[in-house]
Structure 1
Amino acid sequence: MTSIVKATTKGQITLPAKWRRNFDTDRFLIKEQNKSLIVTPLDVDSLEDENWETVFDANKHNKGKGVPIDEFIKILKKTL
């Protein structure tokens, strides 16, 4: 299935419902490759099995609010 989606003024896009229903997850990896965006569904349980660690959860750590990327990078650097 191919779909054209429009980004909001904040840069957000909505994945079509049919795509979301096909995967038992609400987490997706998005990476840039050859001037394209590759969207891959993530199985959070398998990430835990591979010793991945969530370093920031907006709901848990910031009352549901995001953090600007430059501020996030500063915080990460302090922890390393």
Structure 2
Amino acid sequence: MNLSYFIKTMNYPLKMFNSGQITLPKKWREQYDTHSFIAEETSEGLLIKPILTNSPSERSIETFIENFKVQVAKQGFTEKEIDEVIAKIM
């Protein structure tokens, strides 16, 4: 990656505390107006995404489904198989 990539995108170093917690920059917390984020493991590392719904129960369900999809996809299930299972339980 070159320097222009880091200038164009908002990259901030994050510090992890002994408890495993990290603090997101104030700019991000205010920009996304949420207290819930999901961390996804990618080929490049961790991707932190805001969860942008209003209902706490919707956030919990959406987080569960997002995590479920990622984990079962890693086990070799197809997107169609995953969606069929989710449709049965919803």
Q: TM-score range by the shorter chain?
A: 0.5 to 0.7
Unaligned runs of 5+ in 2: 1-9, 65-90
CA offsets per residue over residues 21-46 of structure 1, 9 Å max, x none? 10121100111111511111002337
Alignment root-mean-square deviation, CA? 2.8
- In the alignment, structure 1 residue 32 sits paired with structure 2 residue 41: yes
More strand by share: 1
Q: Would you identify which runs of 4 or more consecutive aligned residues in structure 1 move more than 4 Å?
A: none
- Give the TM-score normalised by the residue count of structure 2: 0.48
User: CA separation of 1:54/1:35 partners in 2, compared to 1, >3 Å: closer, same or farther?
Assistant: closer
- TM-superposed deviation, 1:54: 8.0
TM-score, normalised by the number of residues in structure 1: 0.54
Give the paired residue count. Answer: 53
Does structure 2 retain, via aligned residues, the 8 Å contact 1:27–1:44? no
